[in-house]
Amino acid sequence: MNHVDGNAMAGPLSEIFAVDLSKASGTCASCGLVGPVAGLRVYGPDPGLVARCPGCDEVVMRLVRGPETAWLDLRGAVSLRIPLGP
């Protein structure tokens, strides 16, 4: 299956967060690689978006949008460093 990248998560994540999470820097829980959410390999969009680490291919983030609910699974990320501007 052909993937896109974490830039494509900016819109779906903007529904949930007030800041742009695609430029946040994440740390992979599997291999420790640090990089922008925009650089993750993203598969989807159905049944949900699955974002994998470009270093080890483990799942970092999953986002499933239901009719009235969004499910965000972040267990593959140790942390997200989110720039908030001045």
Q: Looking at residues 33 to 62 of the shown chain, list those that interact with another protein (rule: CB under 8 A).
A: 36-39, 45
Question: Which of these segments, 6-14, 55-63, 68-76, binds another protein (CB under 8 A)?
Answer: 6-14
Residue 58 contacts residue 28 (beta carbons within 8 Å): yes
Is 73 an interacting residue with respect to another protein (CB under 8 A)?
A: no
Q: Does 80 bind another protein (CB under 8 A)?
A: no
Backbone angles phi, psi at 84, to 5 degrees: -115, 5
> Peptide bond preceding 83: is omega within 30 degrees of 0, i.e. cis?
no
Does 71 help bind another protein (rule: CB under 8 A)?
no
Are 37 and 73 in contact by the 8 Å Cβ rule? The answer is no
Closer to another protein by CB, 22 or 76: give it. 22
